[in-house]
Amino acid sequence: MSSLEQIEITTEELRHLVSPRAIEGDTILLNMGPQHPSTHGVLRLLLELDGEIVVNCIPDIGYLHTGIEKSIESKSYEKSEVMTDRLDYLNTMGNNLAYCLAVEKLVDLDVPERAQAVRVIFAELQRIASHMVWLGTHMLDLGAMSVFFYTFTQRERILDLMEMAGGQRMMTTYFRPGGLWRDVPDGWVEGVRELIDDLPRHFKEFEALISKNPIFLDRTKDIGILSAEDGLAWGVTGSTLRGSGVDYDIRKAEPYSGYERYEFDVPLATEGDVYARYWVRMKELYESVRIVHQALDKLPSGPFRSNNRKFVPPPRAELGESMEAVIHHFKLWTEGFPAPKNSVYLPVESPRGELGVLLEGDGGPKPYRCYWRTPSFVNLQVLPMLSKGHYVADLVAIIGSIDIVLGDTDR
Amino acid sequence: MHAQLEPVLTDLEQQFGASQSEFRGQARLLVAPQHILAAANALRDQHGFEMLAALSAVDYWPERTPRFHAVYEFKSLAKNLRLEVRVPLDGDDPELESITSVYPNADWHERELWDMFGLRIQNHPDLRRILMPADWTGHPLRKDYPLGYEEVQFSFNFEEIEARKPRPKE
């Protein structure tokens, strides 16, 4: 009996995806996922296996499709913001940032310096938090349990700071078009400083645990090699591409939110294997700490959001005294603000790569089209190429090294 | 707009009769559907746009000509340039040439265009739905595809909604 009959898709649909040996029954077809722990979410991989060796790998995404783009198109600009948190739940502040920048560019709205600096601090803390989850789960996939607990402890401290400012651990919706929801509370600056003074010590600890571990080296060196040419052709971005030696970081290439004011390096590795991608992300952690240090030292005082009343609601205290403020408040929360009939595409550097927002207005208060160019969606496309000829256990290491988030893949 | 982008725009205008526009410093080209594959080739080989950064579409329904815009975002790392190319498409069942032979990562993007907008991609190696189930009818991101929602139950319409609420089968 052909093993094809056990799989939902018909033989005809499969014929061009797998090798002829699968049709004859020489190789095994195996579903990995949708709920496999090492697929980092709801990802189904249809594997064609020759013994333990991957002959073909067919990713099947869409199990988590939430239709967020369509939902955003039915809400006003300000109200859509809460949807963006739910896209990539390890990079909520980064999604907020991309969306806010796109709205601000579309309607031509200035952001005060203080808001820009706080945004950078949170975006970098979020990058560290995201890399902590990546490191923990990646190591878990490779069989190291304790790193997971260590990294999650550090991540928790960052989430505490986010809760302090935004009132929520993950779905903060803290950045708003024109600035921030509210100013950072008392004690927050001290909290961040304490955290970043302490973090590098832990990063060194992780490196000491992992970097020269012989099992880890065996599992990651020369596995899943992505060449620079392939990376560019397949549109791969972020640490995954920088592990192949391509110097491309949007924070450097097209600075946004004042990144041009901070000094930091872009770590590069040339090997392009799982270990190179691990190495790049570990070095990035130190760079993020460096950026946060500079942003904290230069944190400007002043307003935390724009005072352009056509786009940003007035402070609550003004509502009791000023009729003007009441009118603006009422107009903004009932009608929203109109955006020109045109579109902008705004890319930012998320922990996973280029996170782009295509935002098109139609002259009304709702986005006519809001497309998310999510890095995981594009990066995941190289998985079949990287995994061919490797063992199933290596496939697990490769998935971890691409650092996908399925909410980011399916949108 | 970036000065280095000027020769690229004029070249594409001459070769393919594209028309350019600009908004907030972002350059945009309108290319006819029959030229998109050649234009993508020219962008990669002659002008150094190594990367297809993003590919999506916009539906302008109830407008018919053009009903859709396919939106390509090209990126040149060497020159640090970005260029948006838009392809206007007419009618309810438009066809679009695949550019997977030039930029392999267009593969999933184009499957998404087919799945979400119903743009029929010509010469695509594996045109299946990607985000929706294989047997789904309709293309959800079209503007004439309604956004589903659940009606809120109040005391005045409680029984009416209760009567047609889906229940698990016995």
Distance CA B110, CA A377 (A): 12
Q: Look at residue B136 and tell me whether its pLDDT is greater than 50.
A: yes
Residue A312, CA distances (Å) to A127, A328, A332, A400 in order: 28, 9, 8, 41
**Which contiguous run of DSSP H or E holds residue B51?**
strand B51-59
State pTM to two decimals: 0.90
User: CA A396: distance to chain centroid?
Assistant: 20
Judged by a CB distance cut-off of 8 A, whether residue A160 touches chain B is: no
Mutation target among B28, B63, B75 for the A interface, most CBs of A within 10 A: B75
Buried b or exposed e, range A40-61, using 16+ CB within 10 angstroms: bbbbbbbbbbeeebbbbbbbbb
Q: Look at residue A3 and tell me whether its pLDDT is greater than 50.
A: no
Judged by a CB distance cut-off of 8 A, whether residue B131 touches chain A is: yes
The residue of chain B nearest to residue A341, with distances taken between CA atoms, is: B23
Mutation target among B84, B119, B131 for the A interface, most CBs of A within 10 A: B131
- Report helix, strand and coil shares of chain B as percent, to nearest 5: 25, 25, 50
Confidence of residue A25 (pLDDT cuts 50, 70, 90): confident
3-class secondary-structure state, position B74: strand
User: Which residue's entry shows tokens 């659940």?
Assistant: B150
Within 10 angstroms of residue A105's Cβ, the number of other Cβ atoms is 19
Q: Is the Cβ–Cβ distance between A357 and A346 less than 8 Å?
A: yes
Judged by a CB distance cut-off of 8 A, whether residue B58 touches chain A is: yes
A:B CB pairs within 8 Å: 92
| Each residue's pLDDT tens digit, A304-314 | 888 888 898 88
Q: Which of A386, A407, A338 is nearest to A61 (CA)?
A: A407
B78: left (phi over 0), alpha (psi -120 to 50) or beta: alpha
Helix axes A113-141, A146-166, angle to 10 degrees: 160
Q: What angle do CA B36, B32, A360 make, to 5 degrees?
A: 90
Confidence of residue B170 (pLDDT cuts 50, 70, 90): low
Average pLDDT, chain A: 89
Q: Look at residue A197 and tell me whether its pLDDT is greater than 90.
A: yes
Output the pLDDT for position A11: 62
Q: Which of B141, B117, B71 is nearest to A71 (CA)?
A: B141
Q: Which of B24, B141, B46 is nearest to A372 (CA)?
A: B141
Judging by DSSP bridges, how do beta strands B81-89 and B26-30 pair with one another? Answer: parallel
Distance CA A398, CA A382 (A): 10
Nearest CA distance, B141 vs chain A (angstrom): 6
User: Which residue's entry shows tokens 């706080």?
Assistant: A118
Nearest CA distance, B128 vs chain A (angstrom): 9
Token pair of A127 as six digits = 């990058």
Residue A11, CA distances (Å) to A5, A320, B162 in order: 8, 70, 43
Q: Which of A339, A355, A348 is nearest to A407 (CA)?
A: A355
Q: CA torsion sign, A227 to A31 to B55 to B95?
A: positive
Output the pLDDT for position A36: 83
Output the pLDDT for position A291: 93
Average pLDDT, chain B: 87
Judged on CB neighbours under 10 Å (0-12, 13-18, 19+), A208 is exposed
| Contact between chains at B126 and A16 (C-beta distance less than 8 A) | yes
Q: Is the ipTM of this complex over 0.90?
A: no
Q: What angle do CA A61, A65, A66 make, to 5 degrees?
A: 165
> What number is the average pLDDT over the span A245-250?
90
Of residues A188 and B148, the one with the higher pLDDT is: A188
**Which contiguous run of DSSP H or E holds residue B66?**
none
| Each residue's pLDDT tens digit, B53-77 | 999 999 998 888 889 999 999 999 8
Confidence of residue A12 (pLDDT cuts 50, 70, 90): low
Judged by a CB distance cut-off of 8 A, whether residue A363 touches chain B is: no
The residue of chain B nearest to residue A104, with distances taken between CA atoms, is: B24
Judging by DSSP bridges, how do beta strands A44-50 and A53-60 pair with one another? Answer: antiparallel
Q: What angle do CA B55, A341, B27 make, to 5 degrees?
A: 50
